[in-house]
Amino acid sequence: MILHPYSPIVARPAPRRRGLVAVARGFSHREPTATAALFSVILGLTACEKPDPPVAAPAALQPAPATLPRLTRALYDNTIRDVLGPDLALPATLEPDVAFEHLLTVGSAVAKVSPRGVELYEEAARSLAAQVAGKPERLAKLLPCTPTGAGDAPCLRQFVQTVGEQLWRRPLTDGEVTAIAALGGKAGATLGTFAQSAEFALAALLQAPAFVYRPEHGEADPKHPGGKRLNAVELAAKLAYFLWNGPPDAALRAAAADKTLHDAKVLAGQVSRMLSDPKAHRAVRGFASEWLQLQEVLKLNKDPKVYKHFSSDLGGSAKEETLRLVEFLVFDKDGDFRELLTTRSTFVDRRLAAIYEVPANQELGHAAVQLPTDNERRGLLGQVSFLALAAHPVSSSPTLRGAFVRRHLLCDHVPDPPANLNTAIPEPSPDAKTLRQRLTAHMNVPGCSSCHKALDPIGFAFERFDGIGRFRTKDNGEPIDSSGELDGVPFANLDGFAAAIANSPKFYKCLTRKLYAYAVARPTTDGEASQIAQLAETFAKSGMRVQVLLRAIATSDGFARIATEAK
């Protein structure tokens, strides 16, 4: 569908069907359901674990329905930078991302665009197009030809074809090119310059559904008679947004155009090329940000009277520390990713160095350091990004920290507490001075026991770190006991707890499930259980190398196949 450059984007909801995802005409669209599971961690609600029911051995892959994910804000920004240039002023506000199953990318397949969001996309398109057309050097980089005047229709068509293919991630049809070029040509004829023709044409491209959404129509799958797969162009776009967090480049589009991308050797070669590109770092950072809720770390709010080391820029420093550690483990070491939980290597700036009590780098920015061995701090679970996020503004919280671990690192089901449940814990008393003692007493309160018994025993591992992540040995003047147990495995402190998680099969299986959902950009289905289990096994056999998992997902059947639409 071609829109006037200032026409709204209309997201048409598909008819509902039974199953995880509703499908209509090759697209899926599901209204967002409650995301309180995420916000309960942020707002400080307690929760209780509900064990997953026993399941039979997974059957063969049943491809999931096609989807219609919207570009997340990160993908939108990266696409603009990659196609139009890195120096454009990006829109301050767009339709906000919504998390589903704790991932913004998964939420992009189920959330709708609000009326205000439509206006924001229009305003962004107009602003970006004006910035490109307003500087001759910017426009010249995008033009595949030299215009001879305001009415150079052939050059305008070439511009629409080349830039449109990059923005829409597919070749435009003759009808689409004609419609957009005619709109731009009319504007240029009225306003008198070719640049304004290009501006109006570009504005139309930037607010079309083909840009804002990532459609999947599919084609017949010759390897599975009666089945469907993504066509080569759709596969190229899906690969790029998974492995690069941005649009496909010329080489990937060429492999799609000559229809060789489905060949196993060609696909493997493209994936290897993409993983060796610096943009792969951008993609891994994008996944880590969503998986570990790092977008919420930027919103840290602590009482400065309680935490003298807190300032508004701490969240940014903490987020960057975690992302640099993830990059280091995935790309520099390309080794066992369980080190995310056990390593004493990290990357700190001066602000974090003061909290961790390690020597500060004399230069600005983050630098590699080794944490002292006489301190329990290690890995992700000893970083401010986790310890400060899963805590209250004025105190630590074993419950929030336990809930984070179960939800995001172990993929355990942690439902929200009943709306009318009193989640307040007792105030300090002579018999219960420490937070651990108060929570232990709270476990015996009817309605709270099952919740806290599932979360607090693992959250106690972090009690030697306050609500901002500084190490301590006493709480309210009493020695802190940081022992506990994880699913029957006892630990004495955070050292033992980190090892217990790293050695739990739940961790690598959870990471596989999260990364797969992020890659396919939609909720996973029961029919994909066998695919996810196979990927987890491949990951484990590789020695937990994330690059192996990235490659395995990108070349998997579940990534490229889609369900045949029921008649």
The predicted-structure confidence for 188-243, as pLDDT tens digits, reads as follows 999 999 999 999 999 999 999 999 999 999 999 999 999 999 999 999 999 999 99
For residue 58, the tally of other CB atoms under 10 A from its CB is: 16
Tell me the pLDDT tens digit for each residue of 132-156.
999 999 999 999 999 999 999 999 9
Q: Over the stretch 429-452, which tens digit does the pLDDT of each residue have?
A: 676 667 777 777 556 655 555 666
pLDDT, tens digit (0-9, with 9 covering 90-100), for 486-508 = 988 999 999 999 999 999 999 99
* pLDDT 10s digits, 297-330: 999 999 999 999 999 999 999 999 999 999 999 9
Residue 360 tokens read as 């500060």
Alpha carbon 180 to chain centroid, angstroms: 33
* Distance separating alpha carbons of residues 385 and 370, to the nearest angstrom: 18
What is the tens place of the pLDDT at every residue in 27-44? 333 333 333 333 333 333
Torsion of CA 98, 103, 107, 108, to 10 degrees: 100
Confidence band for 422, pLDDT divided at 50, 70 and 90: low
Per-residue pLDDT band for 421 (boundaries 50, 70, 90) equals low
Say if residues 94 and 124 touch (Cβ distance below 8 Å). Answer: yes
CA distances from 485 to 46, 266, 364, 369, 442 (A): 19, 48, 40, 30, 18
Q: What is the mean pLDDT of the chain?
A: 87
Predicted confidence (pLDDT) at residue 523 exceeds the cutoff of 80: yes
358-386 per-position pLDDT tens digit: 988 777 789 999 998 888 999 999 999 99
Which position has the higher pLDDT, 404 or 416? 404
Question: Could you tell me if residue 523 is left (phi over 0), alpha (psi between -120 and 50 degrees) or otherwise beta?
Answer: beta
Q: What is the DSSP string of 485-513?
A: EETTEEESSHHHHHHHHHT-HHHHHHHHH
Produce one character per residue of 85-98: b if its CB has 16 or more CB atoms within 10 Å, e if not.
beebeebeebbebb
Give residue-wise pLDDT tens across range 229-270: 999 999 999 999 999 999 999 999 999 999 999 999 999 999
pLDDT at res. 488: 87
State residue 375's pLDDT score.
Answer: 84
Residue 476: per-residue pLDDT: 82
Percent of the chain with pLDDT over 70: 84
Q: What is the mean pLDDT of residues 166-170?
A: 98
Q: How far apart are CA 41 and CA 548, in angstroms?
A: 31
Nearest CA to 519 out of 505, 528, 329 is that of 528
Binning pLDDT at 50, 70 and 90, where does residue 428 land?
A: low
DSSP string, 13-79: PPPP-SSSS-EETTEE-------HHHHHHHHT------PPPP-PPP-S--PPPP--PBPPHHHHHHH
Residue 423 has pLDDT above 90, yes or no: no
| Nearest by Cα to 367 from 310, 332, 297, 320 | 320
SS3 307: coil
pLDDT for the residue numbered 57: 52
Q: Catalogue the E-assigned strands of 146-279.
A: 219-220, 228-229
pLDDT-derived band of residue 454, with 50, 70 and 90 as boundaries? confident
- Across residues 528-550, what is the average pLDDT? 98
